[in-house]
Amino acid sequence: MKRIAFTTAATLAFAANAAFAETEITWWHAMGGALGDTVNQIASDFNASQDEYKITPVFKGTYEETLTAGIAAFRAGEQPNVMQVFDAGAATVIGAKGATIPVQDLLADNGVDFDINDYIAGVRYFYADSDGKMIGMPFNSSTPIMYYNIQALEKAGVTAPKTWEEFQTVTAPALKEAGYTALSQSHLPWIFTENFHSRHNLPFATNNNGYDGVDTQILVNNDAIKAHFTAVTDWQEKGHFEWFGTGWGDNQTPFEEGKVAMWLGSSGSFGGLSKKDLPFDFSATMLPYWEGVTKEPTQTFIGGASLFAMAGHDAEENKATAAFFDFLTSSEVQYFWHKETGYVPITEAAYEMAKADGHYDRAPAAEVGIQQLSLPGGDNTKGYRMGFYVQIRDVMNREYGRILTGETSVEDAFNAIEAEANNLLARFAKTQG
Amino acid sequence: MKRAGFSTKWMPILLLMPQLVIIAIFFYWPAWHAIQSSFYLQDPFGFGSTFVGLDNYTDLLGNSEYRRVAIFTLVFTVLVTFFSLAIALLLAVKADNVLRGARTYRTLLMWVYAVAPPVAGFIGLIMFDQSWGPLTRLAGVFGWDFVLGVNFNDTAAAMVLVSVWKQIPVNFIFFLSGLQSIPRSVREAALIDNRSATGRFWDVTFPLLAPTGFFLLIINITYALFDTFGIVDTLVKGEPGNNPMTLVYKVYVDGFRGNDLGGSSAQSVILMVLVLALTIFQFRLIDRRIHYT
């Protein structure tokens, strides 16, 4: 009897306490180092901006580790309110109906205005379903662009190439003459595959690039990309292109050292590169395209990650999550994030604010990503949705590594990628059955 | 000989319970789960799962990439086990003969034991850095263009080297104490019979070290198969690409990175069966031929 009385008292006290206290929510993310500091800054700004809600950001390691931790937590009923999921993991989390609350519904239910057309073109549909409803809130969005060493190009007497044809006939030979390796590039699946298809408006997978169903087949084994990789091996032989490994930094470092004149990286690398004391001035331009494939290159889509509102929390907490998303997408916060990190601002309004503030007069390279994302689109430029895609990327990385070390031919590599990817896609389709 | 016994049969069971419970919870239960989920394809979030029978296994066995990883693991295990045992034995024999400064020598050799596998991997990463790694430069002197992370064989060589380096101290400690427990009288008798040090080593010392060696063989095979995970992960920087990886690392890549729970479980079950077979083989066939003093 005594115990019951005690429990009741404790419950009452707790409830009374909770009624006055602010609603606390958690945010699991994969932003380490300087990015993590910026994330913490945004969170504490949100907490300071009002006194109803409190968000706690928690760094969970790499993108893959964060997703795995979130999945394990969800299965144990301990999921955070907000989870950051990267591009390749999107199919997994969106495919699991009921794991997340579509961000568009969350905002509408909690009285926050939402119009998908407020977002810049390349950002809108990557994390949306096939009807165009936004499921995940784009957060750190970036797109591949080409950075170049200004002094190196001047020394070689060339300008940054617009097309790959120009690169191989004019730019690369001149740079080699001037003592540079012309090009290196990070993340082959992202830049030379996913965005290669988007830049040339080529279909990447059946079912509307995978958005319309899970019985998807990959269409990577096509002539355009095989010709591209054949050209890449040719550049490699001539010393115009060098590959330093699968890791992102492996290929960025030689550019920073001034050994490589041009580097294909992420628009999100801008903040990091600016903070480093590089021995040369750098700028950036859009991703080159093959004139032989298309005369009208289209936009690329975003990489990076988005924020998902996890299901299974009470209405009060969901309201807090909606309030946080509202804060996060405000122009001020987006501009702050863009300026600090180089990730693109996700809304048109934030982009306008950056322009009005003269950010791009001071740093023209910071605008390249947004300009590229705002180019005319096509049927195949909004993104892709494929299950077990992390493994498919691993297969691509493996086969590309083999091509570039001469272990396999371009033809065999793409046959292998197609076969293994389709096998993985079929297996994923079964998990959803 | 008098045997200690219990009056009731419940007492020993009761005393064994804590240990049995721990084994059941931490080994049999997860193992059972792995076997069970290897027959399913599961949505990572746990919303749906489809029974696929042996599909996960046939997919693996029909996959040439899985075979390639298995073959690499075999070669890797043989190389790591052989070199870490052989070098440790050589060092132990030499250390056993040293009279002055022996303690310093031993301590220095044992230090490496304290290094955690990921740290060992990180040291390897620094030593083999593509542009300024000292060992890369050393290889360059011999005309070997060593590119860690790009060339399959170079990365494999670095993995073997770091794994061997990390394992030598453990083997060394065991071999040294094994050597020191050989009775002095036996050594003196051997000295009269055989004047060649090499001959004495192979005829007398080596057979007497066999129990230690057998124990270390098992320890080293398990080490190469499982404990090198941290080294592999660090050297491939979490992105295997076209670099070599071991079977255990592939379980992680597919299960934890790729969220393919069914496929990854099937791989774990294959590993469990492998270890079981290895253990039975070793204890049944090799153990009988070894003489324990």
DSSP assignment string, B254-268 = IIIIT--HHHHHHHH
Cα–Cα nearest to A245, from B158, B34, B209: B158
Is B131 within 8 Å of A254 when comparing Cβ atoms? yes
DSSP string, A157-210: T----SBHHHIIIIIHHHHHHTT-EEEEES-HHIIIIIHHHHHTT---BHHHHT
- pLDDT value at A16 more than 50: no
Min Cα distance B36 → chain A (Å) is 15
pLDDT given for residue A74 in this prediction: 94
Identity of the residue numbered B105:
Y
pLDDT given for residue B292 in this prediction: 59
A363 class by beta-carbon count within 10 Å (0-12 exposed, 13-18 middle, 19+ buried): middle
pLDDT band at A20 (very low <50, low <70, confident <90, very high): low
A24 class by beta-carbon count within 10 Å (0-12 exposed, 13-18 middle, 19+ buried): middle
In B, which residues are within 8 Å of A92 by CB distance? 44-45, 259
Identity of the residue numbered A428:
F
From the list B50, B149, B263, which residue is nearest A433 (CB)?
B50
For B129-138, write each residue's pLDDT tens digit. 988 899 999 9
The contacts of residue B25 (CB under 8 Å, 6+ apart) are: none
CA triple A274-A158-A278, angle to 5 deg: 20
Is A244 within 8 Å of B149 when comparing Cβ atoms? yes
* Placement of tokens 């390639």 in the chain: B68
A260 forms beta bridges with A181
Which DSSP letter does residue B239 get? -
The contacts of residue B143 (CB under 8 Å, 6+ apart) are: none
DSSP string, B153-188: HHHHHHHHHHHHHHHHHHHHHHHHHHHHTS-HHHHH
CB atoms within 10 A of CB A258: 14
CB A235 within 8 A of CB A184: no
From the list A96, A250, A402, which residue is nearest B242 (CB)?
A402
From the list B42, B63, B130, which residue is nearest A431 (CB)?
B42
CB B85 within 8 A of CB B217: yes
Interface of B to A at Cβ within 8 Å reads 41-50, 52, 59, 63, 65, 130-131, 147-152, 236-243, 253-254, 256-260, 262-263
Would you state the structure tokens that stand for residue A388, as one six-digit string? Answer: 């077990």
Min Cα distance B230 → chain A (Å) is 15
In B, which residues are within 8 Å of A95 by CB distance? 43
The CA distances from residue A198 to A77, A299, A321, A378, B132, in Å, are 38, 7, 32, 8, 38
Identity of the residue numbered B237:
K
From the list A71, A254, A388, which residue is nearest B45 (CB)?
A71
A141 forms beta bridges with A304, A344
* Placement of tokens 């997408």 in the chain: A329
User: Considering only A2-16, A105-119, A259-273, B250-264, which range has the smallest mean pLDDT?
Assistant: A2-16
Percent of chain A with pLDDT strictly greater than 70: 95
For A341-377, write each residue's pLDDT tens digit. 889 999 999 999 999 999 999 999 999 999 999 999 9
Taking residues A272-286, report their average pLDDT: 92
Taking residues B1-6, report their average pLDDT: 65
Which DSSP letter does residue A116 get? G
Cα–Cα nearest to B274, from B73, B82, B58, B81: B73
Would you state the structure tokens that stand for residue B116, as one six-digit string? Answer: 């955690």
Residue A242's closest chain B neighbor by CA? B150
Rg over alpha carbons for chain A, rounded to the nearest Å, is 23
- pLDDT value at B110 more than 50: yes
Is B52 within 8 Å of A431 when comparing Cβ atoms? no
Q: Name which of A78, A392, A430, A432 to mutate to probe chain B: the one with the most chain B Cβ atoms within 10 A of its Cβ.
A: A430
Which DSSP letter does residue A307 get? E
* Placement of tokens 């079977």 in the chain: B247
From the list B46, B254, B263, which residue is nearest A75 (CB)?
B46
Cα–Cα nearest to B281, from B211, B207, B213, B214: B214
pLDDT given for residue B291 in this prediction: 61
For B156-191, write each residue's pLDDT tens digit. 999 999 999 999 999 998 998 888 888 888 888 888
In B, which residues are within 8 Å of A71 by CB distance? 44-45, 259
In A, which residues are within 8 Å of B253 by CB distance? 391, 394
Is A246 within 8 Å of B236 when comparing Cβ atoms? yes
Taking residues A378-395, report their average pLDDT: 92
From the list B48, B237, B241, which residue is nearest A401 (CB)?
B241
The contacts of residue B45 (CB under 8 Å, 6+ apart) are: A71, A74, A75, A92, A93, A96, A99
For A311-321, write each residue's pLDDT tens digit. 999 999 999 99
Whole-complex ipTM: 0.87
CB A25 within 8 A of CB A82: yes
For A209-218, write each residue's pLDDT tens digit. 999 988 999 9
Distance in angstroms (rounded) separating the CA atoms of residues A105 and A322 = 10
Identity of the residue numbered A300:
T
Residue B251's closest chain A neighbor by CA? A391
Q: What's chain B's length in residues?
A: 293
Is B131 within 8 Å of A97 when comparing Cβ atoms? no
Q: Name which of B56, B150, B265 to mutate to probe chain A: the one with the most chain A Cβ atoms within 10 A of its Cβ.
A: B150
Distance in angstroms (rounded) separating the CA atoms of residues B237 and B249 = 12
In A, which residues are within 8 Å of B49 by CB distance? 431
Q: How many CB pairs under 8 A join A and B?
A: 122
Percent of chain A with pLDDT strictly greater than 90: 81
Would you state the structure tokens that stand for residue A22, as one six-digit string? Answer: 């602010």
Which DSSP letter does residue A409 get? -
The alpha carbon torsion through A208, A211, A217, A218 (nearest 10 deg) reads 80
Cα–Cα nearest to B170, from B277, B87, B273, B229: B87
The contacts of residue B195 (CB under 8 Å, 6+ apart) are: none
The alpha carbon torsion through B198, B201, B203, B204 (nearest 10 deg) reads 150
3-state secondary structure A390-405: HHHHHHHHHHHHHHHC
Distance in angstroms (rounded) separating the CA atoms of residues B131 and B128 = 9
Min Cα distance B142 → chain A (Å) is 21
The CA distances from residue B153 to A23, B146, B236, in Å, are 55, 9, 13
Taking residues A385-391, report their average pLDDT: 92
Q: Euclidean distance between the first and final Cα of chain B, in Å?
A: 20
pTM here?
0.89
Percent of chain B with pLDDT strictly greater than 90: 53
Is B150 within 8 Å of A244 when comparing Cβ atoms? yes
Cα–Cα nearest to A335, from A38, A37, A29, A92: A38
pLDDT band at B287 (very low <50, low <70, confident <90, very high): low
SS3 A128: strand
pLDDT band at B104 (very low <50, low <70, confident <90, very high): confident
Min Cα distance A248 → chain B (Å) is 9
Helix segments in A50-171, DSSP class H: 63-75, 90-95, 103-109, 121-124, 150-156, 164-166
From the list B46, B47, B239, which residue is nearest A97 (CB)?
B47
CA triple B22-B24-B30, angle to 5 deg: 110
Which DSSP letter does residue B115 get? S
Is B242 within 8 Å of A250 when comparing Cβ atoms? no
Residue A391's closest chain B neighbor by CA? B258
* Placement of tokens 């290897």 in the chain: B38
Residue B146's closest chain A neighbor by CA? A244
pLDDT given for residue B106 in this prediction: 77
Would you state the structure tokens that stand for residue A46, as one six-digit string? Answer: 């949100």
Is B41 within 8 Å of A401 when comparing Cβ atoms? no
Min Cα distance B226 → chain A (Å) is 20
H or E stretch at A304: strand A303-310
In A, which residues are within 8 Å of B130 by CB distance? 244-245, 250
Distance in angstroms (rounded) separating the CA atoms of residues A146 and A300 = 13
Cα–Cα nearest to B80, from B200, B183, B217, B267: B217
From the list A64, A74, A400, which residue is nearest B257 (CB)?
A64
User: Considering only A12-21, A321-330, B46-55, B176-185, which range has the smallest mean pLDDT?
Assistant: A12-21
Residue A65's closest chain B neighbor by CA? B257
From the list A68, A96, A397, which residue is nearest B256 (CB)?
A68
A292 class by beta-carbon count within 10 Å (0-12 exposed, 13-18 middle, 19+ buried): exposed
Is A245 within 8 Å of B241 when comparing Cβ atoms? yes
Is A405 within 8 Å of B130 when comparing Cβ atoms? no
From the list B43, B241, B259, which residue is nearest A432 (CB)?
B43
